[in-house]
């Protein structure tokens, strides 16, 4: 597993997952490579939860965690920094 990860690079980065019925949004709060754990804020059906999940590394050393009944793999590198390529109407 990647020994040192710059948490500032990933802090509050966002990923959206469509589970077949609704969109679920994840924002990274913390990545702890020592404890091999990721903490994310999960927004699902208007409810916000802060959850920790085991952090795994695949054969290419890419970090991911599993979410939901179907154990969807969510890769840390798939998250994008909030504001990248988006226009939130701030002028």
Contact 10, 2 (CB under 8 A): no
Contact 56, 66 (CB under 8 A): yes
Kindly tell me if the per-residue pLDDT of 5 is higher than 70.
no
Highest mean pLDDT: which range of 9-23, 35-49, 71-85: 35-49
Length, in residues, of the chain: 91
Look up the domain containing 17 and give its range. 7-77
In a domain, 42, yes or no: yes
In a domain, 35, yes or no: yes
In a domain, 83, yes or no: no
Tally of domains within the chain: 1
What gap in Å lies between CA 31 and CA 51, rounded to an integer? 12
Q: How many CB atoms lie within 10 A of CB 27?
A: 19
Name the pTM for this structure: 0.76
In a domain, 86, yes or no: no
In tens, the pLDDT along 43-59 reads 998 899 999 999 999 98
Average pLDDT of the residues in 38-42: 95
């Amino acid at each position: 597993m990647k020994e040192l990860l710059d948490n500032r690079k990933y802090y509050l980065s966002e990923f959206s997952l469509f589970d077949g019925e609704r969109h679920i949004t994840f924002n990274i709060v913390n990545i702890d490579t020592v404890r091999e754990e990721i903490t994310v804020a999960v927004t699902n059906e208007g409810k916000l939860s802060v959850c920790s999940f085991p952090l795994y590394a695949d054969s290419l050393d890419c970090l991911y965690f599993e979410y939901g009944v179907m154990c969807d793999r969510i890769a840390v590198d798939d998250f994008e920094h909030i504001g990248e390529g988006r226009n939130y109407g701030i002028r």
